Amino acid sequence: MIFDTHAHYDDEQFDIDRESLIGSFKDAGIGNVVDIGASLETSQKAIDIAHEYDFFYAAVGVHPSEVEELNEDNIKKLYEWSRDDKCVAIGEIGFDYHWPDPAPELQKKWFKAQLDIAREVELPVVIHSRDAAADTLDILKSERVGEIGGVVHCFSYSREVAKQCVDMGLYIGIGGVLTFKNGRKMVEVVEQTPMDRILLETDCPYLAPEPFRGKRNNSTYLPYVVSKMAEIKGISEEEVIRITEENAKRMYML
């Protein structure tokens, strides 16, 4: 079964049909989903959704664009939620330099603080990195993130950066961008990255694959990513599904 390692079903875009959509997953070949927190509010929602559906799990964390909401008191909530039996990771956390705020130093402070939680509770991390390759690699190395384990989700950099991440022991998260007509860079990343280091993800409701590009994404579209990955790797779609599911269960310790 396909394992969607990164989704946001807590998002309001799913308020109209969340229950019926999730109810269709098993028939569509979707086995497990991890709902990923991006703020304190959505981390709480991710835990709630994971308890509502037995095949869902949660990650709790504050996205770099939301770190201004954090302080020494409320970051303790992430630690508390991380002890929940349905929480399998700390994330998504990292750097986002696409916009001028929050300041890089503030992003770095709370990235490190959340890495400390992950190390303490022995959970992997889900790393968000946008327009910040150099700083991301620096902190991955200086904080020895490979010892913690995790994934660079929605990977958007070169195959050279991907190799450095893989060499540290991290996974590479691949989703709908792989199918885009201008997705050559992602094709090169998948060509180079060993199958045992690749995870499937949607990042839904964002980044739907072709032929749904621009529409609301969901886990039932992942077969389009599987098909493209099988073509690139020269293996069957069944092999792609089997290996990426094994990878996800290994990383999330399920």
DSSP conformation letters of 47-63:
HHHHHHSTTEEEEE---
CB 78 within 8 A of CB 60: yes
pLDDT at 22: 98
Give the pairing type, strands 198-200 and 171-174.
parallel
CA distance 21 to 27: 11
pLDDT at 88: 98
pLDDT at 156: 95
pLDDT at 187: 97
With 0-12 CB in 10 A as exposed, 13-18 as middle and 19+ as buried, what is 182?
Answer: exposed
CA distances to 19, 22, 95, 125, 159 from 1, in Å: 20, 15, 32, 23, 28
CA distance 66 to 92: 11
Chain centre distance of CA 180: 19
CA distance 29 to 170: 26
CA distance 94 to 155: 13
DSSP state of 208: P
Nearest 10 degrees: Cα torsion 85, 174, 241, 196:
-80
Kindly give the parts of the chain with pLDDT less than 50.
Answer: none
- If one counts every other C-beta atom within 10 angstroms of the C-beta of residue 75, the result is 18
- Does the pTM surpass 0.95? The reply is yes
CA distance 226 to 202: 11
